[in-house]
Structure 1
């Protein structure tokens, strides 16, 4: 039987995991990427001056409740314990996020116990006249009230998304970021950590298989699909079709990198909640590897703006206009033979790393099982968008 050849477009988490699973199953896999490095937006590298492990495209913190995914990443990298504890500067003070009992007591100058804080927020602060929140702003006002919303969420959201929170759907704030205890761990998940030697080293180990070939600095064209039994495409879905129906909207990030001696801000992430501060946050990267010791420090100021044609897309906008255009591209995708659209860009969704890996594992397994059964159809592997 002739060995089947598969093309994986993109050397990020989706491409690496799908490629590894197919290679293990006996497929010959070519993984290509337009960038000069693997690992996509979770690419990490040592800063040459300070030796700090830098998250080149902004911080990526691994967190999941999926034990299989946790075990999977730990096959290729040792994950060290890390809890994401975010601070925010607003109205002349520094507070903990998510909004918790400490934040509430500090902000309002009170000493409330959990039950008292719950009653204070739900009875005195929350706007109970909003019965069915439809927008981000209504959701925040309904459950937090105007004071906390305006101090911690309004300005930050305007900067992050480039529009007023009243124009964003309530689903963006569907999990209310408030706790009535002193827990300042940003995430709820059972497994949380950072790869000891960075994400790029982890991805390199995932791709280290004799059936995998990696080509970097290679621009994809549809003509390159010839000769492959299947293509897994993790680039922008509209880009695959040469933007023939128009471009889907994204937000992108600009990073202003700077170095200093010592400790710049005393934490990994400092948000800036006020609209008058042009950047959304400052990240100090040595704090993402607290088991290391560094004299120098590397920081990023992050600025969010609308993505242009040559920018790196980060966050899909997914408002009404984008969803309509996405539906048209999905219709094209479902008519495209032997191509699967995967990952954050291929499915036009914001995905955490654990979800990306879970979907990659499931997609690879579905492909292998379907090929064995002879059941592959053009639309079979297009993920729900």
Structure 2
């Protein structure tokens, strides 16, 4: 069959490679001038540092099949994400752990003492069923830690008060009563030695795959193919005819430094008065390399406009209502499957994106074998 994939990010690359190996002819169109989507990496011409062009992407997963898949296409080296945060002129460790708690309160508590201190003296136990981000934080860690580490950062990141955000956002952020400062819990964690773009390039390296960069997709092209997998914005497929789904976007202020700027890969700034959310120092994402200079990004979050790159789906009440309308409209299309972060309007980590792409390819194989229609959404938005 002749298959079209819209977007040369992880979803398009993985689905494309799987179907090419099945004998299908695969065409991939990408509106940007590079592959790999937002995990695109490139060598900085001035310093030679591998830069995460659209912000840091750290691979972490418990899915052994996905870990094996990415390692078939590139060599992953160990990397632990150890985030720091600056609050009121002092540097602390994130996620909140025993060191953070002891440092912040000027104590030297053992794990059981810290747990008792937070739960009995800090946490607001009057909040029995937290509904908002703010309520969850107050119930979880109390007013002092919430205001130092979460409140200002959240306002800057999402452009709204924590009292307007669902509690589920904070449930993803751990608090540890030991000295473990590894940001992620997952069994497999690492960085591709040659960068993500080289990994995606190798995934796409198949004689039955053709990639066209700087090429925009239009709906009238869909009829030229047996099936289309669309990883662009769901509302964009329909030319935003029902309105635009809400996203946050990021601006990056690049600067260089002669030496080490901050001594770590990621430094958060939780105070609302600091306009940026964090500074990333890119050479620390490749700790096996040595560079005298440094490339850093100050990261600013704001509402996504029509010409901006969408990063984080907002998924508030209004957006969910509009999403439901677009899902209903999408279900009327024929031979098109919407995939990935933008195609399903969901925040997805890289490992989940790859897992869903592999599962989508399996679903397509089954639909071809059974002579049934491929679903419009392999995973419901």
TM value normalised by structure 2: 0.99
**Residue of structure 2 in register with 1:269 after alignment:** 266
Shift of 1:368: 1.0
1:312 to 309, 313, 316: 309
Shift of 1:382: 4.3
1:33 to 18, 23, 30: 30
What CA deviation, in whole Å up to 9, does each residue of 1:306-365 have, x standing for no partner? 000000000000000000000000001111100000000000000000000000000011
Q: How many residues align?
A: 381
1:219 to 216, 220, 231: 216
**Residue of structure 1 in register with 2:300 after alignment:** 303
**Residue of structure 1 in register with 2:113 after alignment:** 116
What does 1:346-361 correspond to in 2, within 5 Å?
A: 346-361=343-358
**Residue of structure 2 in register with 1:94 after alignment:** 91
**Residue of structure 1 in register with 2:235 after alignment:** 238
Aligned-partner SS, 2:356: helix
Shift of 1:260: 1.2
What does 1:129-278 correspond to in 2, within 5 Å?
A: 129-278=126-275
Alignment partners' CA distance in 2, 1:316 and 1:330? 15
2:363/2:378 contact within 8 Å kept: no
What does 1:280-299 correspond to in 2, within 5 Å?
A: 280-299=277-296
Aligned-partner SS, 2:252: strand
Q: Quick check: 368-377 or 107-116, which moved more?
A: 368-377
Alignment partners' CA distance in 1, 2:323 and 2:376? 18
2:82 to 71, 82, 85: 85
Q: Verify: 1:384 aligned to 2:380, yes or no.
A: yes
Alignment partners' CA distance in 2, 1:306 and 1:327? 21
Shift of 1:380: 5.2
2:280/2:296 contact within 8 Å kept: yes
Over 2 Å off, 4+ runs: 379-383
1:156/1:274 contact within 8 Å kept: yes
2:95/2:173 contact within 8 Å kept: no
Shift of 1:177: 2.1
Shift of 1:91: 1.3
**Residue of structure 2 in register with 1:70 after alignment:** 67
Alignment partners' CA distance in 1, 2:271 and 2:327? 38
What CA deviation, in whole Å up to 9, does each residue of 1:75-125 have, x standing for no partner? 001000000000000012000000000000000000000000000000000
Shift of 1:375: 1.2
2:330/2:376 contact within 8 Å kept: no
Q: Which runs of 5+ in 1 are unaligned?
A: none
Shift of 1:175: 3.1
Aligned-partner SS, 2:116: helix
What CA deviation, in whole Å up to 9, does each residue of 1:46-74 have, x standing for no partner? 00010000000000000000000000000
**Residue of structure 2 in register with 1:14 after alignment:** 11
2:124 to 124, 127, 139: 127
1:367/1:381 contact within 8 Å kept: no
1:265/1:284 contact within 8 Å kept: yes
Shift of 1:176: 4.3
1:52/1:294 contact within 8 Å kept: yes
What CA deviation, in whole Å up to 9, does each residue of 1:15-51 have, x standing for no partner? 0000000000011000110000000000000000100
Aligned-partner SS, 2:172: coil
**Residue of structure 2 in register with 1:54 after alignment:** 51
Alignment partners' CA distance in 2, 1:109 and 1:296? 36
